[in-house]
Amino acid sequence: MQYPALFLFLGGCLLAAQPIDIPLTIDEPAGVARSAEPVTAGVPLPKGALRDAATLRLFDPDGKAVPAHFRPVNFWGDDRSIQWVHVDFFANAPAGGRAVYRVRTSTVPAPAPSATLAVEASPDAVRVNTGTVTFTAHRNGPFLDAGALRGADFLLRSDERIYKASQWERSSLIVEEQSPLRVVLKRTGSHGWVDREDRALDYVLRIVAYAGQSHVRLIHSFVNRQGREMSDFVRLDGLWLQARLTGAAQPFAVEQLGAEPRRTGWFEAGGIGVGLRWFWQLYPKGFAVQPGGLMRLALFPETARPQNIYTGVAKTHEILLSLDGRNLSAHLDDPVYAVAPPKWYTRDTKALGRLVESSPEAILPKYWPLVQRYDRWLADSRDAVLKKRDSGFTFQGRRYDEYGMLNFGDAMHKLIADDAKPDYGIHWETEYYDFPHALFLHFFRTGDMKSFRMAIEAAAHLADVDISHYEIDPTRHGAARTGPGLNHWTRYSNGVFISSTSWAFYKNESLFDRWLLTGDLWSRDVARLSSGFGTEYNGLDLHSNTRSIGHGLFAMLKAWEVFGEKKYLDRVHWIVDCVQAWQDGNVQELARLNPRVVWDPVFKGGYSHQSWMYGIALEGMAQASQALGRPEMPGYMRRAADWIFANPREWDPARRRFRNAPVHSVMLTPGLAYIAETSGEKKYWDVALESFEWQTQEAKVTDRLKLFAQLFRNSQRFPWYLSVEANGARHGGERP
């Protein structure tokens, strides 16, 4: 039975005809009352529901319209109605409590902010008056003068040289975003030596300020784009924010070289407050005020063991300057987020495709206990991954754990202690299989904020360390790091300094998730960089890494959805054409499309050995099939599944189990369900449901980041087939 497209079309039209009314819930996590805390929330909208964000309003828990700014983020591909909007506003929430705001279409006049945000730009500087404080950002020299904080600069020490952002004269400064509530300034350049020619690490610095607010947020990302070889590095001996305090300040120093003590990263001196997000988690860090009022916030202390920053590596630090001295540590350590209900992210808008919220109203009653068990398995495994962060181990007389400037958000895979091997050292998971995206999917389905916050941490690591920001071959800028990565950035099998030479390790959907949900601009930038790699590099190595099919499709489909550029859609068609030429054994066409691929006759009709990889490939093909509407695609997917079931090395018909890595059977469930839906053949549905049931009932909890992502990145789309909404999409047209 075919997917009930008419029902969804009519349902979408009915929904779009209704006024928009979306609750945005803020749960205060730290036990600290929030007053006018700036929040950016991403909200999806149903297709056809809205074409002009100017009709949207935000109402507080008392039903009063409050100042807010809405801006469209992307648009539905066919009718160009708004798909996601970002809303900026100032939130109030009781300590440890909850506040519910509402986004509505309304003719009520939008209230103006209580203070006017004034921005005056000239070629060399931007002057900002928030209504409570005034500061000036400079294009060259020290980047910021702000009241009691003068001559703010970033200094980097490497090999006995001091490099300064102020000593690089080819910097740029732009007003990147501006609204009545918020302004984002973006300065880019390098940390330059005194000769103003030599440099050590590029940087992107964003300066964010808000109407009526007395604080400034700094987001500093350094990037190594300097190497002639991927094994080249800049030795980092120190990195700090330095400024002169004009207010009286007693000298003091805090140096934190280990994960303990887990102190907050908030400091007060000279009438201002200075905070660093994830201060202890990103150790080593430090803070000092020297005689004479020179302030230093150490992003990497000079007393720490030097850290090599290899070609293509980046790292982002988020700093908060409270110019009136108010303690805003909770803003950094436990920011509040405004989120919609799971049903809105999933069924009500369909902005995430075939994803359904986890609720008894959404799931058919006969399957609801099964979905509950699945979610417990997922949450228990997530908690086990989180708990492992503190375990640590000792290697060569030193203790290691999963914290640190280039570690936090990632997890350790294994240790090779034999230094005679080329892969000697610590292997990290490198967000393999897009671990944060699996967490974001769990949040979308359940509203679980623990998964949300953990996903933010992991996506931050992915954006900085697990995507190569620069490659010697320019067609490979934005390549994903291999996984598991030896010491994060070298190949696990031979220790060679190289990023992925295929799409087998491609991972960027979580960067889009973070951008869409929170408005994080660095995540958007890196998502675009990574997507560019997919259009420039032919990484489709079918016979050895079948998962490349799915990873390439996931990346290109999401880039097309968010950025709306045809080159990404063309790339989706190219991947499908390559796969189908491979299945047909059309060597001539395959050579024309992608000379990189070496065809093997044994795989005609299928993809490769290793059935578990088919889970990723088939889910990618299913999403592409729904997006492209190419009528031949489901038949090709069915042929691929038939190849697996006919191969005795892959499928055990007596036990009804996949022989090759049966622990990964759950990965195949949504792809097989789609084949059942489009073919009308019950046998594919039976295998999908049986695999989902036996793995969920067995429910072996894992504390491995990689395995978590393998198990739960694809399979969270299978419960849609168990839902009331999907009634008729399964073979046999089951009824609730």
Q: Is 271 helix (H, G, I), strand (E, B) or coil?
A: coil
Could you write out the DSSP letters of every residue in 486-499? ETTTB-TTT-----
Contact between 184 and 207 (Cβ < 8 Å): yes
**16: pLDDT strictly greater than 80:** no
The model's pLDDT over 697-717, given as tens digits with 9 standing for 90+, comes to 988 999 999 999 999 999 999
What pLDDT is attached to residue 396? Answer: 76
**259: pLDDT strictly greater than 50:** yes
The model's pLDDT over 311-343, given as tens digits with 9 standing for 90+, comes to 999 999 999 999 999 999 999 999 999 999 999
Report the run of H or E that residue 555 belongs to, with start and end.
helix 547-563
What pLDDT is attached to residue 15? Answer: 41
What pLDDT is attached to residue 260? Answer: 56
Rounded to 5 degrees, φ, ψ at 483 are -140, 140
What pLDDT is attached to residue 336? Answer: 98
pLDDT mean over 103-116: 94
What pLDDT is attached to residue 1? Answer: 31
User: What is the band of 640 on the pLDDT scale with cuts at 50, 70, 90?
Assistant: very high
- Structural domains of the chain sorted by starting position, each given as residue range(s) with its CATH number in brackets: 5-105 (2.60.40), 118-333 (2.70.98.10)
Residue type, 221: S
pLDDT mean over 566-585: 97
Indicate the average pLDDT of the chain.
Answer: 93
pLDDT mean over 589-597: 91
The model's pLDDT over 486-540, given as tens digits with 9 standing for 90+, comes to 999 999 888 888 888 889 999 999 999 999 999 999 999 999 999 999 999 999 9
**2: pLDDT strictly greater than 90:** no
pLDDT mean over 338-359: 98
pLDDT mean over 182-199: 96
What pLDDT is attached to residue 733? Answer: 55
What pLDDT is attached to residue 734? Answer: 55
pLDDT mean over 47-73: 97
Bridge-based pairing of strands 651-652 and 233-236 is unpaired
Nearest to residue 535, comparing CAs of 515, 559, 504? 559
Structure tokens, 409: 């958000």
What pLDDT is attached to residue 13? Answer: 41
Contact between 626 and 350 (Cβ < 8 Å): no
Contact between 342 and 445 (Cβ < 8 Å): yes
Our measurement of the distance from residue 736's CA atom to the centroid of its chain's CA atoms, rounded to an integer in Å, reads: 36
The model's pLDDT over 77-100, given as tens digits with 9 standing for 90+, comes to 889 999 999 999 999 999 999 999
Contact between 545 and 610 (Cβ < 8 Å): no
C-alpha to C-alpha distance for 566 and 92, rounded to whole angstroms: 42
Contact between 90 and 210 (Cβ < 8 Å): yes
pLDDT mean over 635-650: 95
Nearest to residue 16, comparing CAs of 83, 102, 110? 83
User: What is the band of 10 on the pLDDT scale with cuts at 50, 70, 90?
Assistant: very low
User: What is the band of 434 on the pLDDT scale with cuts at 50, 70, 90?
Assistant: very high
What pLDDT is attached to residue 261? Answer: 72
Higher pLDDT, 8 or 724: 724
**9: pLDDT strictly greater than 80:** no
Distances (CA, A) of 399 to 92, 286, 299, 446: 42, 20, 21, 37
What pLDDT is attached to residue 12? Answer: 41
What pLDDT is attached to residue 368? Answer: 98
What pLDDT is attached to residue 114? Answer: 93
The model's pLDDT over 139-150, given as tens digits with 9 standing for 90+, comes to 999 999 998 999
What pLDDT is attached to residue 728? Answer: 67
pLDDT mean over 590-603: 90
User: What is the band of 417 on the pLDDT scale with cuts at 50, 70, 90?
Assistant: confident
**544: pLDDT strictly greater than 90:** no
User: What is the band of 573 on the pLDDT scale with cuts at 50, 70, 90?
Assistant: very high
**How big is the chain, counted in residues?**
736
User: What is the band of 200 on the pLDDT scale with cuts at 50, 70, 90?
Assistant: very high
Share of the chain above pLDDT 70, in %: 96
The contacts of residue 596 (CB under 8 Å, 6+ apart) are: 538, 540, 541
| DSSP β-bridge partners for residue 606 | none
Of 152-166, 188-202, 373-387, 420-434, least confident by mean pLDDT is 420-434
What pLDDT is attached to residue 598? Answer: 85
pLDDT mean over 100-113: 95
